[in-house]
Amino acid sequence: MRVIAGPEKKARLLSEKEQRITAYHEMGHALVGHFLENTDPVHKITIVSRGQALGLTISLPTEDRYIMGKTALVETIAMTLGGRAAEDLVFHEITTGASNDLEKVTDIAKRMVMRYGMSDKLGPRVLGRNADMPFLGREMGHEPDYSEELAREIDDEVRRIIEEGHELALRVLREHLDDLHRISQILIERETIDKDQFERLLAGETEEQVFPEEVSSTPETPPTAEEKQKRPQPKPRPVPFPGATMQPPPEGSTT
């Protein structure tokens, strides 16, 4: 976790409202990612601040993937927008917490339209020069080779794809609204939920079943001098002389 998101920000204390919004935001990512078929499985959900993030939902692939289809890319956009969709659905308001998510989905949608030819309207072609090519100058690399009219069509297609992903995220969350409320409350209390716990909660197990309370083993407090004096003291046993053997006294004798 530290390598992925940086160290914990223990000094960053969220208000109760911010903590609640963050919990619903992260749970939105997690639920959309869990119920869509072509997204990576959720590994951990936390509202512990790390780096620049107030919370984090980590999803990890189960196998190496070298190509992605159009459906997988749209579902990835939906999962990325799951946090913003949860805010909109529950609080009827969106926050600045989704700014990084919007950067990611805009980049994916642009690549789908301009690099991967995944726009039905614009067709299978590459639009614009590749700004990542190191042998091109910066100005030439960023210079568009299409008209303003085509630029507007590109913007429209990018917006359409992002809105499609957002609507998909909303649809998933509406279908699992009870889980969104229930597990978000648990996340607020527990702060971190791992993959196994998340899946068990979705399977219907209760919080008590998933998070059994550990019996606290509190060390006993040493007795005070006054308590020691009140305790009955054992009678001293006779100490034999060196070489002697302790034997019971003969019958009828007195000691």
| Domain chopping of the chain, boundaries | 2-210
The three-state (H, E, C) secondary structure of the chain, written as one string: CHHHHCCECCCCCCCHHHHHHHHHHHHHHHHHHHHCCCCCCEEEEECCCECCECCEEEECCCCCCCCCCHHHHHHHHHHHCHHHHHHHHHHCCCCHHHHHHHHHHHHHHHHHHHCCCCCCCCCCCCCCCCCCCCCCCHHHHHCCCCCHHHHHHHHHHHHHHHHHHHHHHHHHHHHCHHHHHHHHHHHHHHCEEEHHHHHHHHCCCCHHHHCCCCCCCCCCCCCCHHHHHHCCCCCCCCCCCCCCCCCCCCCCCCC
233 band by pLDDT with thresholds 50, 70 and 90: low
Per-residue pLDDT, 83: 97
Select 2-210's CATH number: 1.10.10.10, 1.20.58.760, 1.10.1240.10, 3.40.50.2300: 1.20.58.760
Handedness of CA 98, 104, 188, 217 (dihedral sign): negative
Per-residue pLDDT, 246: 45
Establish whether 75 is a catalytic residue. Answer: no
Decide which of 104 and 13 is more confident.
104
Catalytic member of 26, 75, 87, 157: 26
Least confident of 51-55, 75-79, 92-96, 203-207: 51-55
Per-residue pLDDT, 183: 97
Residue 44 near residue 5, CB atoms below 8 Å: no
Q: What is the mean pLDDT of the chain?
A: 83
145 band by pLDDT with thresholds 50, 70 and 90: confident
Query: What's the whole-number mean pLDDT along residues 32-38?
Result: 97
Per-residue pLDDT, 133: 52
pTM confidence score = 0.75
